[in-house]
Structure 1
Amino acid sequence: MEETSVFLVCLTASSGVPLYCRSKGSSRQLTFSVIGSLNGVHMFANNQDVLLMSTRTENSRVVWRTFHDSINLIVMSCENTASDFSLNKLLENVFSAMVLVIGLDDLVNIKNVERLKKELRACYKLIDSFLTESEKMADLTQCVDCIIAHDVAILQECLDGFTQAAESEFGCLMAGGKVVAATEKWWRLASQDVMLLCWLVASLSPHSSRDYPVYLPQGSPTVPHRLLTFQLVPGVDVCVLCGPSPSLQKVESELVERFWKPVVDPLKSCLRVQLRSFPASVPLHHGIVGLLLVNRDLNKRLYSVQVHPMEEMERTELKFTLEQRRAALRSFCTLALSRYFNPDSVDGKNTPYEERFASGFSHHAHQCYTVSSSHKCYAVKTELHLLFLVFQPEVPTFSMQTIASKTLQQISLSVSLKSTTIGLAPARNC
């Protein structure tokens, strides 16, 4: 199997009937005998009152999870950056994606396997995006990607008025799959629900409008809501979560043009910012090539591998490509969250699959770094933030801590709490 191969198998827990198989990085699917062996060893362990969670071979890692004693999910990854932490997050997100699209009742009370297989086809695109997406890391942090836009106050006012006119309190404005503004009630939803809704909209093909039934895995797993989406300009969508009324046609014909036509220019400007995620007026050290900043209180984050203004990047030879930066940042984030930083679940509870720190160390790290020939990485954990940085290899290792501290302060001071969705507060000492 290829070194980038990932295989995902979904089966019924009671009978072991395969519901679907998805894969990444391989043209070959797992054979039925392999699937049967993977599920059989898990069932055998359960019969012996042993909980089989994960195992490793010479070139792969396998993780098993059972949800509600009804659905078994198995993932086998050949990626050398895979960890129990990242693969468990993947399985959690996959099951939540299934709940989001078809609801919890049909997954817990399986009455007709063939019918369930057909219903699950509607989840494939969302599930595949969790397997193949390389530009996002919300699946690891359970936080929402945000944009710091210039005219966010104006856009927030339009969004609040539009959402209220659509008989809802849950609205969100997105550019390039990242949140520009959202209503207060939208942010009160469980962080995983918000992440999944944004991920769903970003995974769907562009369309002028949609009326999409969704279940909220944390907030409403058995009662569906309507997710209305409207493309305001190419790449920018407004979303409303509502009940039986109003109709899609009424909102599209009466409200979209009324609220959003006057702010077309600010909407287009969001697209110019979304690649960097924050304005060029926020200066960063010239050696930084990738950044991930998480606000742990608000479950929001800034993410970019194009941290410098476009004109500056055009003058710089990209020895370390954008795709390489994304891979490096994701790999380092996975390493730090798996081994050094104590990961918290959505509700603040410790995850049961946390990888233990090296034997003999009982404390939790607050900073860590890695060094390679192509780049360097540094991470800082404070009471409020998680900051992950990717540096050019020429940056002195001893200076990374100072640069990270200044970067956190610069972004915190440059961003007003009242005028942005990310809600960054002044940095606190480690």
Structure 2
Amino acid sequence: MAASVQLLCLATSSGVPLYCRSKGESRQLPFSVIGSLNGVHMFGSNQDVLLTSTCTDNTRVCWRVFQDSITLIVMTSEEDASDLYLGRLLDNIFSAMVLLIGLDDLVNLKNVERLKRELRACYKLIDSFLAASDWIGDLTQCVDCVVSPDTDILQEALDVFVGAAESNFGCLMVMGKVVVATEKWWRLAAQEVMLLAWLVGSLAPSSSRDYPIYLPQGSPTVPHRLMTFQLVPGVEVCLLCGPTPSLQQVQAELVERFWSPLLEPLKGCLRTHQRCFPTSTPLHPSILGLLLINREQNKNLFILQPHGVEHSQQQGAALPPTRRKSILRLFYTLAVSAYFPADTTEDKSAALHEQFHTGFTHSPAECYVAADDHKCYAIQTQQHQLFLTFAPEAPTFALRSLATKTLNLLTKELPF
């Protein structure tokens, strides 16, 4: 039976269900089951016990309460669903609700039926977090990016375009991944940048949009406008602005003027987006997938077919892209939970801690895993984290050297 995920959203004070979303072969849960799941959490809370997660033989359940107002419960039968992932999933889903309807309506539950109707606007974004995706920002809390060979040209055009639109916040996206962004866009909270990219990536294609959004950390109660314009199919430029200018004004006066001369570089973004960086940067043939995180700018490159689709298909029988994705997500979870712990209290509480008899006397900077069908290696510096998946034939003693060379190659040759 295929793995399934079920998400429940309830009003904390009353236990009234606000919505249920699911992925996979999930049937609608009876109200008695929903009540039991909420009731056991409430019972623990009344006894001063915080119930965060539990496991059965084939299901993992997590609970989170936000703002003493909204309770989210997730149940999954997916084998690779860790507490770290599920904790971040619930945090992302609540932030997605704030992004689209604002914090006030979620905290002041005066009209439950009206809130239920408003929450329908969040379903596409919420479902994108539940669905299997080729992005990894939901787990890393960084935005997925693409490095274009024409980065300098596109960055200059974006900065001038955003300034002409009387804004400081803008980015260029290809298939939901950021190519370039303004300096102030990168100054938004990491989760906000990630959420905006996921929102644009989850929406149906459109030539232009004018979307009211809230910034969950920067402006949870006062809305801004997110304007998007399709430059070529799959490539969009996005703006965050106030009441002015109008969508029609930007569309008519600015989009054509600034972007039509750059048709070829924009098409080049589409050719690059799957590999995430130019083919002129070669990788060792034993590398099957990689995750590179810029820790200072909270952005990442996530690549499952680093040598192109044809090469990936030749290796597909041994390790198809879906398996590579699962391996990298699990390895990232292991590494940041046990070896590269985050500085924030929240992530420490959600992490999975491996038990060692003597503990570490130092802060690990590297770790590796060797399995039957793959090997993994991770390396951490002050600015970057690199997670690599190798073919099983790669010699274990060579992994450190290959990882170090790959990190140097990606960080010195690419503007990342």
TM-score (normalizing by structure 1): 0.92
Contact residue 144 and residue 178 of structure 1 kept, 8 A: yes
- Determine the C-alpha separation between the residues in 1 that align with 2:198 and 2:349: 25
Q: How far did residue 165 of structure 1 move?
A: 1.1
Cα separation, 1, equivalents of 2:197 and 2:233: 16
Q: Return the alpha-carbon distance in structure 1 between the equivalents of residues 283 and 139 of structure 2.
A: 25
Aligned 8 A contact 1:3 1:80 in 2: no
CA distance in 1, matches of 2:348, 2:30: 32
- Structure 1 partner of 2:349: 352
- Alpha-carbon distance between aligned partners in 2 of 1:5 and 1:318, rounded to the nearest angstrom: 25
Deviation at 1:224, TM superposition (A): 0.3
Structure 2 residues without counterparts, runs of 5 or longer: none
The 3-state SS of whatever aligns with 1:386 is: strand
Contact 2:214 2:224 in 1 (8 A): yes
**2-side partners of 1:111 and 1:36: how far apart?**
21
* Structure 1 residue matching 2:127: 3-state secondary structure: helix
Q: Which residue of 1 aligns with 2:44?
A: 45
Aligned mates of 1:43, 1:309 — CA distance in 2: 51
Q: Match of 2:9? A: 10
Q: CA RMSD in A?
A: 1.6
8 Å CA contact 2:334, 2:352 repeated in 1: no
d(CA) in 2 for partners of 1:181, 1:228: 16
- Contact 1:66 1:73 (C-alpha < 8 Å) held by counterparts: yes
Task: Compute the displacement of 1:339 (Å).
Answer: 3.1
Q: Tell me how far apart the structure 2 counterparts of residues 246 and 131 of structure 1 sit (CA, whole Å).
A: 35
Shift in Å, 1:374: 2.3
Q: Contact (CA 8 Å) 2:2, 2:25: kept in 1 or not?
A: no
Shift in Å, 1:27: 3.7
Counterparts of 1:224-235 in structure 2, within 5 Å, are 224-235=223-234
Change (3 A) 1:299 1:413: same
Aligned ranges 1:303-382 → 2 under 5 Å: 303-309=302-308, 316-319=314-317, 320-345=319-344, 350-363=347-360, 364-382=363-381
1:407 counterpart residue number: 406
Secondary structure at 1:352 match in 2 = helix
Shift of residue 83 of structure 1?
1.4
Equivalent positions of 1:382-393 (< 5 A) are: 382-393=381-392
SS across alignment from 2:406: helix
Tell me, yes or no, if the aligned pair for 2:103 and 2:221 is still in contact at 8 Å. yes
- The equivalent residue for 1:426 is none
1:176 aligns with 2:175: yes
Partner Cα separation in structure 2 for residue 353 and residue 102 of structure 1: 27
SS in 1 for 2:63: strand
Offset from partner CA, 1:272-294 (integer Å, 9 cap, x none): 11111111121211100101000
Partners of 2:270 and 2:83 lie apart in 1 by 36
1:71-107 Cα offsets, whole Å, 9 max, x none, are 0011111112111111000000000000000000000
* Partner Cα distance (1:261, 1:294) in 2: 32
Instruction: State the partner residue of 1:428.
Output: none
1:328 deviation in Å? 1.9
Correspondence for 2:102:
103
**Per-residue deviation at 1:393?**
1.4
Inter-partner Cα distance in structure 2 for 1:54 and 1:150? 45
- Deviations along 1:329-358, whole A, 9 cap, x unmatched? 22222232333320344xx87542222231
Decide whether the 8 Å contact of 1:379 with 1:388 is kept in 2.
yes
Alignment coverage as a number of residue pairs? 413
Q: Which position in structure 1 is the counterpart of 2:153?
A: 154
1:272 matches 2:264: no
Give the residue type in structure 1 aligned to 2:357.
G
Which residue pairs with 2:78 in the alignment? 79
Q: Distance in 2 between matches of 1:317 and 1:80?
A: 24
Could you say what secondary structure the match of 2:277 adopts? coil
Cα-to-partner distance string for 1:159-210 (whole Å, 9 max, x where unaligned): 1111111111000000121111111111111111111001100111110000
Identity %: 61
Question: Kindly tell me: are residues 378 and 234 of structure 1, through their superposed partners in 2, closer, same or farther at Cα, counting changes over 3 Å?
Answer: same
Structure 1 counterpart of 2:195: 196
Query: What amino acid is aligned across from residue 251 of structure 1 in structure 2?
Result: V
Structure 2 vs 1, CA of residues 312 and 78 (structure 1 numbering), >3 Å: closer, same or farther? Answer: closer
Structure 1: runs of 5 or more not aligned: 423-430
| In 1: Cα distance, 2:348 partner to 2:397 partner | 33
Moved over 4 A (4+): 309-314
